Amino acid sequence: MSVAVIGGTGIDQLAGLSATREQQLETPFGAPSGAIEVGAIDGVPVLFLQRHGKPRSLPPHRINYRANLWALRELGAAAVVAINAVGGIHEACEPGTLVVPDQLIDYTWGREHTVDEGGAVPIRHVDFTEPYDPALRRALLMAAQESAIACRDGGVLGVTQGPRLETAAEIQRLRRDGCDLVGMTGMPEAALARELGLPYASLCMVVNAAPGLDNEPLTLEAMGDVLAREAGSAAALLRAFLTARRRV
């Protein structure tokens, strides 16, 4: 069984992945964001999908999350690690920080958020008390600790609709709601994974202070600089996680 990695902004390729083929797969919900790379990292079977497509062209609200998760399951994924580029709201989540969140709040609307379309099967009332798989979270954090990679344990990810960034007032509302991070792609991805029986965890790369929380202008260039540095740390953590998984 494979570990599936879903790449976000800045993760167009997976460091160390020896891909044997690219798999195009049609699902009951249409086509995924693109071809899924099938291969291995240090002997561990890995599936890699860039959720925004390659080249990146899909905004957060246009991603076919249902097809993505369905295709990964069909190709034998046993667990999913999702990489998300996010903004930091909590003072401890400054740009350049890696975070493995433990909770989320969904502010999105209009997205296809379930594979349950009615019919003869029972309604999918899945337990979503803990949106991220605890064992998978612990494995990521343990890999970070053993590799001396700084990574924050826990946090609430607020998922907004995008593709625009948030207003300062919206960020203050998210802060009052208890959000530590803000991103655009964490839902319905996490819930769909739960419906499909896939253990799922997120590795968040904080690339900017959320709007209104920094005196510096919010520019794509500045975010890109931080993202380029964090992508290396995220790749190193993933490799450490996979190496540890091979030992189990």
Residue reference for tokens 């209104």: 212
**Cα–Cα distances in Å, from 227 out to 2, 86, 113, 186, 206?**
27, 10, 28, 18, 8
Residue reference for tokens 């003072």: 91
243 is in an annotated binding site: no
52 is in an annotated binding site: yes
Cβ neighbours for 144, distance < 8 A, ≥ 6 positions apart: 98, 100, 150, 151, 237, 240
Residue reference for tokens 């510096």: 216
**From the CB of residue 174, how many other CB atoms can be counted at a distance below 10 Å?**
23
97 is in an annotated binding site: no
- What's the length of the chain? 248
| Closest to 238 in 3D by CA, of 139, 153, 131, 132 | 139
CA distance linking residue 239 with residue 138, whole number of Å: 15
For residues 141 and 133, the answer to whether their CB atoms sit within 8 Å is no
CA geometry: angle 228, 232, 235, nearest 5 deg: 130
CA within 13 Å, CB half, 206: 29
Instruction: Could you list the residues known to form a binding site, using ranges.
Output: 9, 51-52, 184-185, 208-210
Instruction: Could you list the residues known to form a binding site for phosphate, using ranges.
Output: 9, 51-52, 185
Instruction: Could you list the residues known to form a binding site for substrate, using ranges.
Output: 184, 208-210
